Structure 1
Amino acid sequence: MARLAIGSGIRALASLLAVSLGAFLLIALMPADPVMIAIRAWNLAPTEETVAALRENWGLDRSLPERYVIWLTGFVAGDWGLSFRTGEPVLTEFLRRLPLSVGVGVSGLLLAIALSVPLGLAAAQRPGGFADRFSRLIAISVQAVPAFWIGLVAIWLLGVHLQIVRPFSGGPSIVAIATAIIALHSMGVLSRVYRKDMLEQASRPHFRTALAKGLSRHQALWHHCHRSAFFALLAAVRSEAGWVIGSTATLEVLFGLPGISQFLVQSIAVRDYHVLIAYVMVVAGWMLLMNAILQFAMRRLDPRHA
């Protein structure tokens, strides 16, 4: 186990290093000069002295390798640089906004898992029944309808028609709606994965033996199929974790939630290097962390190790 953990840690660090290098080069080579964008935004005189001072202050007068090494060293030490747009430390800006983004994404994913298990169990208990058709309808609908469209419908229905929420207030009710939309999108897919593995296990001899011993179908499914089905569900969550990032970003912009994705959108226009790179690294770290957590849980639930 220790050797596996060390190997996984080395691979994770190598992945983060590769992501950091690729992101740095891609963002650094983007067209347009952030110094000139800042000068126009701040209504400064575009003199040679002003341009040179800004480039030196932001480290843009150095070569790309030097800039990368300086940035990487500072990033590891907790110095993520200053935002060109706000003038505040990027780490401070992210720490202020990250709890909201992580809270919406993780809460939506956990809620989807919690709802997928009973829905998938009910669908497997009576294939072709109401729960089975309902889970199939959700799975198909959310694949065909993007999250932002559901968000727009929620704004119109709850904010304009019923007037029970303020659509762009960023309050608890808006956070709850965003979380529910993410959960709804993931719940359909995860419940079908759970149901499918349940039915596969139900076709095996050990399930028929459990029925012969007097267990009901519901009891036999839960006691003899749940572990394997939940293992399959967690495997599907690994792919859903990436989707949740994009959906959370979309809903933050749509609902005006002050998360890191909204901050990113505001920073793109001025090519705020440090913010853009930090966002890529946070997303990469999120994916690696989720992958590590799910790998650990899947090893504990693996039927071969039961």
Structure 2
Amino acid sequence: MWSYVARRIFQALITTVVTATAVFIMVRVAPGDPIEVLLGDMASAEEIARGREAYGLDQPLLVQLGIYLGKAATLDFGKSITQGIPVHELVLSRVGPSVLLGLVTILLTIVIAIPLGILCALRRDRTTDKITSGGAFVALSLPDFWLGIVLILIFSRTLHLLPSSGGSGLAFIMPAVTLALPLAAVNFRLMRNETIGVLKAPYVTLARARGLRLFDILKRHVLRNAIIPVLTIGGVQFGHLLGGAAVIESVFGWPGIGQLLIRSIATRDYPVVQGCIILMTVMVVAVNLLVDLAYRFIDPRFRSA
């Protein structure tokens, strides 16, 4: 077990270094100059040159990369070009809201998808299954930003039940619901199909022949086997939510990493863009490691793999 964890941590370090290198190069070859954005259109060529020198942007790309990776190894990611705040402080201040939104979203997804997936598998091709499956297709087809705006119009502007923006109180409910519905639709379909497959397995037929209650069969045999693919998708989805929910964070004014990343890209704030993506990479790798460890806890077959 520990050798497996150590191997995965080493792989995570390699992944992080490769990601940091790729992002460093891509943001610098992209059009735009952060110093010109910072100083404005009226800045002279001499002022821009001094600004580039102050931030080390006048040096060759490989020299900049070497300096950056050396400092990053000591967790020094530099300062924001536009705000002058250390990158680690700026990025870490957005971790809490992003993690909160991601956890609530995944919790809603699980609460919706797993029970409905099992129920529709047990009532396959009946009215309940047809209505729920149709609803899942509708949820998948709705643009998330449109759904977010509709929720704001209903629950904030019309009913005045929930705040439309902000990062405190009940402001997390609407963005979490907006993100959870399409994810729940995906996981519902997966859970339904996996449960149908497991219910046809010989060991489930034998359990029924032995007279075990349906609840015990679902708990001991069906759920533990059908949930493995859902865990895999859930880990990927949670990683996506940590940084890929930028549109929804912007719609609801949620102060997460995704919103910070979008703003930093717009202002060409290289250090913040790099810090956001590196942190997102580390968190995604960590979540996937936890999912792999969960496999070994749920299914003994993975322990000997």
Q: Same fold (TM over 0.5)?
A: yes
Per mean C-alpha deviation after superposition, the further-off stretch among 66-75 and 147-156 is: 66-75
Match of 1:27 in 2: 27
RMSD (CA atoms): 2.2
Match of 1:276 in 2: 273
Distance 1:20 1:134 in 2: 46
- Alpha carbons of 1:123 and 1:99: their partners in 2 closer, same or farther (altered >3 Å)? same
User: 8 Å contact 1:147–1:247 — kept in the other structure?
Assistant: no
User: 8 Å contact 2:34–2:268 — kept in the other structure?
Assistant: yes
Q: Structure 2: which amino acid aligns with 1:294?
A: V
Residues 177-196 of structure 1: matches in 2 within 5 Å? 177-196=174-193
Match of 1:235 in 2: 232
Distance 2:131 2:290 in 1: 30
Q: Structure 2: which amino acid aligns with 1:241?
A: F
Residues 153-232 of structure 1: matches in 2 within 5 Å? 153-232=150-229
Residues 23-102 of structure 1: matches in 2 within 5 Å? 23-40=23-40, 45-46=43-44, 48=46, 50-102=47-99
Q: Structure 2: which amino acid aligns with 1:3?
A: S
Q: 1:253 deviation in Å?
A: 0.4
Q: Which runs of 5+ in 2 are unaligned?
A: none
User: 8 Å contact 2:79–2:86 — kept in the other structure?
Assistant: yes
Q: 1:18 deviation in Å?
A: 1.2
Per mean C-alpha deviation after superposition, the further-off stretch among 162-171 and 7-16 is: 162-171
The superposition leaves residues 21-53 of structure 1 with CA deviations (integer Å, 9 ceiling, x where unpaired) of 111111011222221221117x6x4251x3333
- Alpha carbons of 1:228 and 1:259: their partners in 2 closer, same or farther (altered >3 Å)? same
User: 8 Å contact 2:109–2:183 — kept in the other structure?
Assistant: yes
Q: Does 1:248 align with 2:257?
A: no
Q: Which residue, out of 96, 112, 117, partners 1:115?
A: 112
- Alpha carbons of 1:201 and 1:190: their partners in 2 closer, same or farther (altered >3 Å)? same
Q: 1:12 deviation in Å?
A: 1.6
Per mean C-alpha deviation after superposition, the further-off stretch among 242-251 and 90-99 is: 242-251
SS at match of 2:163: coil
SS at match of 1:173: coil
Distance 2:165 2:200 in 1: 50
- Alpha carbons of 1:127 and 1:87: their partners in 2 closer, same or farther (altered >3 Å)? same
Distance 1:34 1:236 in 2: 37
Q: Structure 1: which amino acid aligns with 2:170?
A: S
Q: Count residues with an aligned counterpart.
A: 303
User: 8 Å contact 1:80–1:274 — kept in the other structure?
Assistant: yes
Distance 1:11 1:267 in 2: 28
- Alpha carbons of 1:243 and 1:97: their partners in 2 closer, same or farther (altered >3 Å)? closer
User: 8 Å contact 2:105–2:180 — kept in the other structure?
Assistant: yes
Q: Structure 2: which amino acid aligns with 1:27?
A: V
SS at match of 1:172: coil
Distance 1:110 1:157 in 2: 23
Distance 1:37 1:169 in 2: 27
Distance 2:266 2:202 in 1: 61
- Alpha carbons of 1:222 and 1:133: their partners in 2 closer, same or farther (altered >3 Å)? farther
Per mean C-alpha deviation after superposition, the further-off stretch among 274-283 and 164-173 is: 164-173
- Alpha carbons of 1:243 and 1:130: their partners in 2 closer, same or farther (altered >3 Å)? farther
Q: Structure 2: which amino acid aligns with 1:172?
A: G
User: 8 Å contact 1:83–1:272 — kept in the other structure?
Assistant: yes
- Alpha carbons of 1:276 and 1:254: their partners in 2 closer, same or farther (altered >3 Å)? same
Structure 1 segments of 4+ aligned residues over 6 angstroms from their partners: none
The superposition leaves residues 240-297 of structure 1 with CA deviations (integer Å, 9 ceiling, x where unpaired) of 2354346521111001112222222222222101011112212222221111111111
Q: With structure 1 as the length reference, what TM-score do the two structures score?
A: 0.90
The superposition leaves residues 89-115 of structure 1 with CA deviations (integer Å, 9 ceiling, x where unpaired) of 111111111110121012211331233
Q: 1:3 deviation in Å?
A: 2.9
Q: 1:303 deviation in Å?
A: 5.2
